[in-house]
Amino acid sequence: MTRGAWRQGLLFAALLGASVIGQSGGEGWGRGERRYDGRFTFVRLRWAADSGTGRRTFGFGSTAWNHDFPRAEQNLMALLDDLTAIDVNRAGSLILSLDDQQLFRYPIVYMWEPGYWTIGDHEALRFREYLLKGGLVIFDDFEHDHLDNLQHQMRRVLPEATWIKLDDSHRVFDSFFRMKTIYFPHPFERILPTYYGVFENNDPSKRLMVIANHNADVAEYWEFAGQGLFPVDPSEEAYKLGINYMIYGLTH
């Protein structure tokens, strides 16, 4: 059996059991007071709702940035722990704002629904520092013209940045798993994803600082893995993509 086939078999077995992973509740997940202990910890970015328009309020206690919480990160971290040699914190995660000093301790951050995001001046300055010092941000769960808002907000962070469309030849998609395809469908809409990146010095041979999964909701697959809501094949590819992102961010 090849290494790729072995990993594929482990992922499939873990995926079938993922419905159990996230059912222990949210205790320990998203706790901002969690002390840094050197383990790899999932960081979700928080941003304030627009109290003037309520555009970011989705009802039932849900806001755009906390979609899929906490099962998406619970499931992804459990599989990352099971399938790699990374010292993963699978007992909890962090939710941090962009001006939180703790941000600089964690090399990878994840933001949901950037189509509704706005950023303040101080946050923009700190976010810029974070990315230029070696951080990686992954934007997910946004569609259609929401890309315009993401790029508009990021111009305040990296005004010099050029957005480059990524294809499946980039090493970020092959850092651990060999994916069958990166173009697996959006779980709810009849669209296929497009991936964009921002590189150091706008040089595609250098480090990716920003990854945007446009017309995609990768984490939705993580949240409901093993529950029969979505087909197995795209769910597997979504997990492969997430793990590849984590490996890339930790090694570049």
So what's the pLDDT on residue 6? Answer: 46
Burial of 36 from C-beta contacts in 10 A (0-12 / 13-18 / 19+): exposed
Q: How far is CA 219 from CA 140, 164, 239, in A?
A: 7, 22, 9
Backbone φ and ψ of 94, nearest 5°: -125, 145
pLDDT at residue 113 greater than cutoff 70: yes
User: What is the CATH classification number for the domain harbouring 99?
Assistant: 3.40.50.12140
Range of the domain at 26: 3-251
So what's the pLDDT on residue 60? Answer: 37
Looking at the structure of the chain, the number of domains it has is 1
So what's the pLDDT on residue 52? Answer: 39
pLDDT at residue 193 greater than cutoff 80: yes
So what's the pLDDT on residue 226? Answer: 76
* Sign of the dihedral through C-alpha 76, 79, 85, 88: positive
Q: Where are the alpha helices (DSSP H) in the chain?
A: 3-16, 18-21, 71-83, 121-132, 146-155, 218-223, 232-251
So what's the pLDDT on residue 14? Answer: 58
The mean-pLDDT minimum among 10-19, 83-92, 145-154 falls in: 10-19
- With a pLDDT cut of 90, the percent of the chain lying above it is 76
Tell me what the mean pLDDT of segment 146-156 comes to: 97
Tokens 């222990």 appear where?
24
pTM of the model: 0.89
Tokens 């050029």 appear where?
162
So what's the pLDDT on residue 123? Answer: 96
Residue 175 pLDDT class (50, 70, 90 cuts): very high
So what's the pLDDT on residue 54? Answer: 41
pLDDT tens for 21-52 read 544 455 689 876 678 899 999 999 998 755 33
Please check whether residue 240 is in contact with residue 11, taking contact to mean a CB–CB distance below 8 angstroms.
Answer: yes
Q: Where are the alpha helices (DSSP H) in 32-186?
A: 71-83, 121-132, 146-155
So what's the pLDDT on residue 35? Answer: 81
User: What is the chain's mean pLDDT, rounded?
Assistant: 88
pLDDT at residue 3 greater than cutoff 80: no
